[in-house]
Structure 1
């Protein structure tokens, strides 16, 4: 055997041995806690953030949020806005594809937006797209679907015309309601288009399995336009609303991310895990809503008295260990275009003075000591923090008014489904996280026309008229004044009682790279990686 042949044979054999002894390529998997089971994976029916976390991994809108919570191009590589601020023209990426390899088209977006606004769809978040010309009229049956201000100019060009200039419109397009649906898939599969093995998506990942209340698995979408930069092979979402169980799984290194852990654990967890504990201030409000359809909660005096009797400082400091702040306005602070929110008129009083006024108001309404009995049921979604808040509030109402207070709870999906479907209640816990950084997003919850999120069925022509004027006002200062006036009315009538300005609580394993806290609470898995 020649020396050259010997060397070649030796190298080949050595290579075979090395290859045979090498471990198989290991998948890069992100294990992600998600705080509850999603009600739906249909873009038109979604309403809560635990659904959004999943949907935004599966689908990509015209715009998206980057890791820092800033708006950047998504399925659209660019856009132009007309001089009058009314018409956006979006250019889709040439290489944007669905997970089945077919192209993402302008017609898909036109179809998807029309589907959301079609009254037959009964989309829960249809109002997100109301800035589009004729959207509200279409959604309320006052205009034909053909009149919606969106059209496919060609396969890769989407033109959207607005009712009025809307500075935050690009943020609306990053909302899960504005995610596209594959028209071909929906036409073929009907309601089954959301199922694993059937779903066709255009995001960084595709759905491969979903076992309710156990796990939901997505895998990297090889047809995604930026697949080369997606560092994860798989993301497993765990819908665990048991916060203690989530923390235990994090500590056992079974989960890399935990969303919304119990606030009373902050000090212990910081001691053990230091900078893996994230308390991130956000544009969000924790509040109780009163069902104004029935007595005594249809009496503004009763609502105001109940709200005044709640010691928000106690809730913030004792229940949430200082990770939340007392709130006396629905709109949270921190919006540059709005400034200081309009607080309830009792915000500046001491808690003792508030309680004295509350007792007098309740007596005037005919309830409490010497009056009619006050029976209250507090509903909340299953969560140790919410249970502790409800227990504390119940004690405050018992001690202040002699009320008989009971509590009931449901899992997060069932709780919000009950409220959104018009179920009757006394008092219910709710929270709102900004979909976009504008006060309208919070105030609009209480419009009489908001059939999905106006849980307490508040109906005030005075409030509605001010909000209507704000929609037509193009001067920023004048618009802000109208919304402040509207919030003043809201805080006077107290259809909702704001308790806390929230922060997002996350446990983020030091294995995770690319994580950035942000006020939008947007954390797409495509921007994350996992290291051993």
Structure 2
């Protein structure tokens, strides 16, 4: 905790060097480098913590957070911005350390049966709701039953598919109380899985698995997520929510480890325009940004390198076709043509510019026990791809005289707009496609994607919920709540069911590779690049560490005083042991 690594750009040297060229200060609207506040230097104690004298007098942080959350109900929320806030408000059975490791959360510890199917969680006796009521095993039983109940409409209900009887409940064949969960005592929660699930503990860090306060929900209905009504069990509680302006959280005095939480308040701000967010950071109004403008990498690298954080992220940016209506329904050749016409190298080098990795696959690289499927076209030259794209375009029934006219949707963001413009220009140049770009507010965008009534091609992407290839593959199960493409392949569904049931790691890995190969062959998505996280972080904000899941809980952070050139040493009280030098 004594120090914070500010930049990890060296992890992606070749791509980032390519991304650095050609930037002008004029784009950022600045002519000189800003002066960043510097943290006080201190001598840490034996556990790496700063002395109280080094801490800022006011422990309040301001965080940029992308789009406006559509809800703060952990069972109904979608998207990274919502999940970030929910991980401050709530806590699951497991949680994450600053470096992304899965660690005990509400559950102090657990036992796993020899066959890997039964997990017994022992809740921390100090676990409380934000109103002071004890958190019990029955709260988890009720909450998980709510998630799998089809009447709830939880988008990520299939997160609990590994639990015994969950599949049958989701299909409407059994009642929710048949779910394989039980309360053995006030503080003992037991889960029985349909089959061993290697990633199960990691899955429990996802908001869908968090407990919801039943009395608050039954008293207020959908308004239970509003300030004054929301009862949560995490390190923070909801104080204020001004829609499209800010969300304010305050430290939860009843949190099980409240004495270890230093940040007293945290404000989350939605920004659709990255340049606005950058300007707010430069003005000192934010301690970190959710993202930064792609066009400003060169300027930021030169002028704000100490605050710039770029790190690998377990996610994939892609476009998706609506397979439930023309022109992409039953037209594989057309989908192939559009994919091959896109030059991913140009997009990452000239448009995104932050070291994103061009890709033709779905699952990002880097998993220790999975090698993603790389299609043959990834080895072709771009000229070869474009020649094949033109052949397939004609095969699909289109030509220069009768071009495809298509709508490409994206949610409000300058970065998304730039990519959509570039992709539509490539389609026009290579194939003659006429593209109409449609920009939508995030909530409307998600709604239109889910309904599949008006969408044709739309921006998509996925950040893994846990470090396993299945988190990407399960998205395209015919019954998954985020299968916005409408992909319905019984063979693919059966493969995923076999993956869920397979106990031998090597066989499970082969089944997942077969599923990924099938998905890519069916051209359900148009992969573009592997994500990197990219943001600015105030040098005074400590406890923030890069991790591949890009999960950063406020409770791990604290603010240092601004430096006045002195070194703050810990105060050693009389009679206490200072330790070895």
Q: With structure 2 as the length reference, what TM-score do the two structures score?
A: 0.85
Show the counterpart of 1:305. Answer: 337
- 2:176 is aligned with 1:145: yes
Cα pair 2:345 2:358 within 8 Å, conserved: yes
SS in 1 for 2:151: helix
Whether the 8 Å contact between 1:285 and 1:501 is mirrored in structure 2 is yes
Structure 1 residue 26: deviation in Å?
Answer: 5.2
Q: CA deviation at 1:252?
A: 0.4
C-alpha distance after superposition, 1:157-190 (max 9, x if no partner): 0000001100110111110111111122223332
Instruction: State the match for 2:529 in structure 1.
Output: 500
1:431 aligns with 461
The answer as to 2:438 corresponding to 1:408 is yes
Change (3 A) 1:352 1:514: same
Q: Distance in 2 between matches of 1:280 and 1:249?
A: 22
Please report how far the alpha carbon of residue 280 of structure 1 lies from its aligned counterpart in structure 2 after TM superposition. Answer: 1.2
SS at match of 1:257: coil
Aligned twin of 1:467: 496
Deviations 1:197-223 (A, max 9, x none): 111111111101000000100001111
Q: Which residue of 2 aligns with 1:194?
A: 225
SS at match of 2:305: helix
Query: In the alignment, does 2:151 pair up with 1:120?
Result: yes
Alignment of 1:223-238 (within 5 A): 223-238=254-269
> For the residues of structure 2 that align with 1:276 and 1:373, how far apart are their CA atoms?
47
SS in 1 for 2:529: strand
**Contact 2:322 2:452 (C-alpha < 8 Å) held by counterparts:** no
Q: Secondary structure at the match of 1:120?
A: coil
Give the TM-score normalised by structure 1: 0.93
Cα distance in 1 for partners of 2:218, 2:265 equals: 28
| Alignment counterpart, residue 411 of structure 2, candidates 355, 378, 381 | 381
For residues 354 and 283 of structure 2, the distance between their equivalents in structure 1, rounded to whole angstroms, comes to 27
Instruction: Please tell me whether residue 40 in structure 1 is matched to residue 74 in structure 2.
Output: no
1:481 equivalent to 2:510? Answer yes
| Structure 1: gaps (5+ residues) | 1-24
The reply on whether 1:447 has 2:477 as its aligned counterpart is yes
1:208-247 alignment, distance < 5 Å? 208-247=239-278
CA distance in structure 1 between the partners assigned to 2:368 and 2:453 by the alignment: 36
Counterpart-to-counterpart distance in 1, 2:197 and 2:486? 27
1:332-356 alpha-carbon deviations (Å, 9 max, x no partner):
11111212x1122311110000000
| Structure 1 residue 474, shift from structure 2 partner | 1.3
Tell me the alpha carbon deviations over residues 411-432 of structure 1, each in whole angstroms, 9 at most, x when there is no partner. 2232123212334311000010
The match for 1:337 is 369
Q: How does 1:19-58 map to 2 (within 5 A)?
A: 27-58=58-89
Structure label with greater radius of gyration: 1
Tell me if 1:255 matches 2:286: yes
**RMSD between aligned residues:** 1.3
Deviations 1:211-268 (A, max 9, x none): 0000100001111111111001100001112111100000001000101211221221
Measure the CA separation in 2 of the matches of 1:108 and 1:477. Answer: 37
Structure 2 residue 561 is matched with structure 1 residue 529: no
Question: Which residue of the other structure, out of 133, 136, 139, is the alignment partner of 1:108?
Answer: 139
Q: Distance in 1 between matches of 2:450 and 2:185?
A: 38
**Per-residue deviation, 1:369:** 2.4
Inter-partner Cα distance in structure 1 for 2:453 and 2:237: 35
Q: Could you tell me how far apart the structure 2 residues matched to 1:421 and 1:236 are?
A: 33
Q: Give me the whole-angstrom Cα distance separating, in 1, the residues matched to 2:354 and 2:124.
A: 45
* Residue aligning to 1:317: 349
Structure 2 contact 106–127 (Cα < 8 Å) conserved? yes
Distance 2:501 2:196 in 1: 9
Structure 1 residues 423, 50: closer, same or farther in 2, change over 3 A?
Answer: farther
Runs of 4 or more off by more than 6 Å in structure 1?
none
| 2:410–2:416 Cα contact (<8 Å) kept | yes
| SS of match in other structure, 1:304 | helix
Alignment length, in residue pairs? Answer: 505
Distance 2:375 2:437 in 1: 26
User: Whole-Å Cα distance in 1 between the matches of residues 496 and 145 of structure 2?
Assistant: 25
2:199 is aligned with 1:168 = yes
Q: Is the 8 A contact 1:263 1:323 kept in 2?
A: no
* Cα distance in 2 for residues equivalent to 1:377 and 1:196: 39
> Per-residue CA shift, 1:4-59, capped at 9, x if unaligned?
xxxxxxxxxxxxxxxxxxxxx95411101101100110111012110011111011
3-state SS of 1:142 partner: coil
Describe how 1:258-297 pairs up with structure 2 within 5 A: 258-297=289-328
Stretches of structure 2 that go unaligned for 5 or more consecutive residues are 1-55, 562-581
Corresponding position of 1:355: 386
State the Cα deviation string for residues 487-514 of structure 1 (Å, max 9, x = none).
1111111111111011011111011011
CA distance, structure 2, for counterparts of residue 497 and residue 528 of structure 1:
38
- Larger RCO of the pair (alpha carbons < 8 Å, separation 6+): 2
